[in-house]
Structure 1
Amino acid sequence: MSQKLLVIDTDCGIDDAQAILVALAATHVRVLAATCVFGNASVDDVCQNVLKVFEVAQREQFFTQEIPVFRGSAGPLLGTTASAHDHFGTDGLGDVLENRAPRWEEKIQKEHAVNAMLRLVAENPKQVTLVALGPLTNLALAVKMDPSFPGKLKELYIMGGNMEGKGNVSLCAEFNFAMDPEAAYLVLEEYLCPTYLATYEYACKNVLSWEFFEELTSQDTAASRFMKTITSRCWAFSPEIRNKQRGGYFEPGFVSYDSYAVAACVDADVVAESVRCPVRVELQGTVCRGMMVLDRVGRLNKQHSVTVFTKCHKDKLAQMLLKSVGHPSGSPHAGKETP
């Protein structure tokens, strides 16, 4: 199998860290770069988090790449810098790591993330898959700097948005889109390349069990110990939260949001069902701003459709997550899922 070239655009929080490990563990994938954006934490914290994930991954046999890290957008396209969400702690990795990346500024490339994105794709036309795991600000700036940029991509995978108007930071909007609605709108209007979305509801409807999470974070590997550490004091993984409905809508369970997008990118067979239709991000109103709507009846009169995932093969996802922490597949809990 020929190598799949990825650029990962990330606001590296705990789920991004897991998702990046999934990409690095795939033998047929080559990660060309990580481009950083604000979101789960400030962009400076995100840069340090990505470097830390790469450091951890280098202790595992599957990771031998040297991957450049680029600093990108520190805030949304419009208005003041959005306040970072503390779902994963103020630093994005659970506020438990000391000295995450010593002298980290020296390890970040001088080139801006958006310029690097444009350059890498121009150097590999129609070969690069762009995976967006945070607010879409860098992607929006890229298409404004070079309107031909989306046409040079092989494909685009996005973790973000919603398909049923169920939000997690507002009544109707998912976090990544809510942090920069204008960017999300621009990307879904102007990126006409093949586009695939792992939405908030998709992840929440395909949860894994907390028993599986315990197995994932209890392996005798550097990556597993790292994931256990950064989730150890995070309220989102606490016993008090585990048995509660997610967002008031969904069954309890373990959800590594960004891993759903990366898993689909790495192995399309992870996706069991999807729908294909035009979409649009709402920019008006106090209730629906940032919400993504699916047009299944042609009211938007758009020519471009995207693929929105609806159901995944959770056993395959579980096996990929185990592999990402250096554990072979075939675990007794790999396919054990919350009903």
Structure 2
Amino acid sequence: MKKKLILDVDTGVDDAQGIMVALADPGVEVLGITCSHGNTPLENVLKNTLRVLKACNRLDIPVYRGCKLPILADKLNAGDYHGKDGLGEVPDPDAPGLDLLQKKKAAQAMIDIVNENPGEVTLVAVAPLTNLAVAVQLAPNFPSKLKALYIMGGNIESRGNTTSCGEFNFVADPEAAHIVLNRYTCPTYIASWEFTCRNSLPWDFCNKLLAQKTEKAAFMKRISKLSMTKAQSQEYQKETTEGNGFNSCDTYAVAVAINDSLITKSEQVAVTVELQGKYTRGMMVLDYMELLKKTHKAVIIHKIDLEKFKQMLINSLM
């Protein structure tokens, strides 16, 4: 039986790579892709997602329009890294139109898909968690029907990439992250910012990956040129990846959702999100002292089998 996934994305370059990894795996069935504000405004996310599906010849995958704004926070995007359009500022004049979108909205689509496949669907959330927060408000029993939830977001050592100690996806909608971490009690796995930094991809591998003589590799090379140039800057390397290479954040969460045997080191701990702090709003809190008295613990990923991960990336562009 194939592993059934819903991907919740804010399609920038790493989301694109994650989508391509999922679509290339013969053991995976992507039941739908839900789109959120995040790396770029929602309209761009929708267009970008369809462009990725076109590059993979998979426009049969249903795509759903989600939330264009966070619950309470100010709107945020990452255009300086992913490009103003979210996909490297290399427009496609023949890009698919938004008429291909499903009429149903993202949160309702999540609920309906899971109701049709109770206990079988893994939800992979690599965007601000707004759509997930809306879904649990609409259907409080929704999380109990999931097989598992994989999140790219949050941080484990207060190391920020958007604020002093806040990771982008959580800072972009702290209230949504708080709702999800406190109300989703299904098996939950978190690929934090620091984890992705410490498992970044060596540049020689990135060159090998993008040198494959395929249309998919050519597409990925075009859309990732801007972000890779940014990632190679001395300032960015010092602040984010400790000089190790390229950090394709969201792809890690997708990969371990497909195959959790990739995880070689992890720990289980209760988590929540700080909402009030002047400097710490949006920061993920790890409750090692168990003061929160939460029975639900998240799996915090620390290390993965990087060679297996690399092979998944290579396969995605073949």
Tell me, what secondary structure is at the counterpart of 2:178?
A: helix
Report deviation, 1:85: 1.7
Matched, 1:192 2:185: yes
Residue of 252, 267, 274 corresponding to 1:260: 252
Matched, 1:277 2:269: yes
**Which residue of structure 1 lines up, in the alignment, with residue 10 of structure 2?**
11
Residue of 167, 170, 180 corresponding to 1:174: 167
Residue of 189, 209, 212 corresponding to 2:202: 209
TM-score under structure 2 normalisation? Answer: 0.96
- For 1:239 and 1:114, locate their aligned partners in 2 and report how far apart those are by CA, in whole Å: 33
Tell me, what secondary structure is at the counterpart of 1:110?
A: coil
Matched, 1:72 2:72: no
Matched, 1:221 2:220: no
- For 1:242 and 1:133, locate their aligned partners in 2 and report how far apart those are by CA, in whole Å: 26
Q: Structure 1: any 5+ residue segments left out of the alignment?
A: 327-339
- For 1:243 and 1:210, locate their aligned partners in 2 and report how far apart those are by CA, in whole Å: 16
Distance 1:184-1:28 versus aligned 2 partners, 3 A rule: same
Report deviation, 1:303: 1.1
- For 1:287 and 1:210, locate their aligned partners in 2 and report how far apart those are by CA, in whole Å: 33
Report deviation, 1:242: 6.4
Report deviation, 1:238: 4.5
Matched, 1:140 2:133: yes
**Richer in helix (by share):** 2
List per-residue Cα deviations over 1:230-263 (Å, max 9, x = no partner): 122x154348516853426723311111110011
Distance 1:57-1:249 versus aligned 2 partners, 3 A rule: closer
Give the superposed CA RMSD: 1.6
Q: Structure 2: any 5+ residue segments left out of the alignment?
A: none
Structure 1 runs of 4+ aligned residues shifted over 6 Å read none
**Which residue of structure 2 lines up, in the alignment, with residue 304 of structure 1?**
296
- For 1:235 and 1:14, locate their aligned partners in 2 and report how far apart those are by CA, in whole Å: 8
The one-letter amino acid paired with 1:118 is I
**Which residue of structure 1 lines up, in the alignment, with residue 39 of structure 2?**
40
Contact 2:154 2:170 (C-alpha < 8 Å) held by counterparts: yes
Contact 2:232 2:245 (C-alpha < 8 Å) held by counterparts: no
Tell me, what secondary structure is at the counterpart of 2:272?
A: strand
Distance 1:324-1:248 versus aligned 2 partners, 3 A rule: closer
- For 1:229 and 1:135, locate their aligned partners in 2 and report how far apart those are by CA, in whole Å: 25
**Which residue of structure 2 lines up, in the alignment, with residue 93 of structure 1?**
87
Distance 1:160-1:244 versus aligned 2 partners, 3 A rule: closer
- For 2:300 and 2:223, locate their aligned partners in 1 and report how far apart those are by CA, in whole Å: 30
